[in-house]
Amino acid sequence: MSYPEITFKDFSKLMAKRRRGVDDLVDLFRGKIEDPRDFFERVLTCKYKHEDRSSSVIPYRSVIEFYLKEQNYLADGLRPLKKTGTDADFIEEFLGILGLWLSTHQPGRF
The better pLDDT of the pair 77, 27 is held by 27
% of the chain with per-residue pLDDT over 90 = 54
Q: Which residues have a Cβ under 8 Å from the Cβ of 16 and sit 6 or more positions away?
A: none
Predicted structure pTM score: 0.66
Of residues 98 and 51, more confidently modeled:
51
Average pLDDT over residues 75-89: 59
Give the pLDDT score at 95.
74
Looking at the chain, the whole-number percentage of residues with pLDDT higher than 70 is 74
**CA Rg value for the chain:** 17
Give the C-alpha separation, 53 to 30, whole Å: 23
